[in-house]
Amino acid sequence: MVATAKQWNLPNKISLGRLCICGLFVGDVSVPWAYSATTALILFAVGSLTDWVDGWVARRQNLVSDLGKLLDPLADKILISTAFLVLLERGVVPLWAVVVIIAREFLVTGLRALTAAQGAVLAAAASGKWKTFAQMLYVLLVLTQMALVEIGKGGKQVAAPLLEVPASVFLWVAVGITFASGVLYFYRCRALVFSREGKEGGGEEDLGRRPCSSGSENRMARP
C-alpha cells in the first residue's frame, strides 16, 4: 500500500532523516581521514536524538501511524546495526555481541513479517525501549572514547581510558537486555509462530494482537 500524504507526517519524515544519517555515518567511517571518529560521534548522537524527537512529536501531536510503527523501528535497527558493525570492523566490540544483537533484530523482523501476512501491524514491546537506549548509550560511550583520542592530547587522551569500564558494563547490559527482550518477544508471539498459518490451534485469536501489540500507541516502545 502506498503511503499517503497524511502518513508522511513530521515524525515519519524525522525517521526517514535518521535513515539518511545512517548513510552519512557509513560514508564517514568508510573514508580514512583525521576526524572520522569525531564526525561519527556527532552523526550517531544526532541520529539517537531523532529517535526520541520523532516519538515525542508523534505523541504530542497525535500523529501515530502504521507507517511510523514500521519506519521508526526500522531506522533504529539500521542505525544500531550499522554502528555495531563499524565497531566490530574497528576491533572494539566482540563478534558474539554483534551476533546476539543483529540476530535479535532478524527474529523480530521475521515475526513482523508473519504478522503482516495476517494483515496486521506487529506492534512494539516495552522492553525494546530499554534495549535501544542501552545499545545507543554503549555506542556513544565508545565513539566518545575514540573521539577523545582522535582530537586531543594530554588530558583528553588520559580521559579516554576512563570510559573503558562504563563502556564494558553497558556492553553487557545492552546484550543482556537485547537477548531478554528477544526471548520475551518470541514468547509473546508463540501462538503466531507455532499455530498453523497463525489461525489454527490458538492462532490469530489467541495471538489476539493484544499480547503481540501491547503498547501499540506508544511510538517510543521499540520492537
Domain ranges, ordered by start, for the chain = 10-207
> How confident is the model over 75-100, as a mean pLDDT?
92
Evaluate whether 65 touches 7 at the Cβ level (below 8 Å): yes
Please tell me which residue, 74 or 80, carries the higher pLDDT value. 80
Q: Out of 68-72, 117-121, 136-140, pick the least confident.
A: 117-121
pTM recorded for the entire structure: 0.78
Q: Out of 23-27, 28-32, 59-63, 118-122, pick the least confident.
A: 118-122
Cα distance between residue 67 and residue 7, in whole Å = 6
Question: 23-27: long-range contacts (C-beta < 8 A, 24 or more apart)?
Answer: 25/79, 25/82, 25/83, 25/86, 26/82, 26/86
Which option is the CATH number for 10-207: 1.10.357, 3.30.2010, 1.20.120, 3.30.1360? Answer: 1.20.120
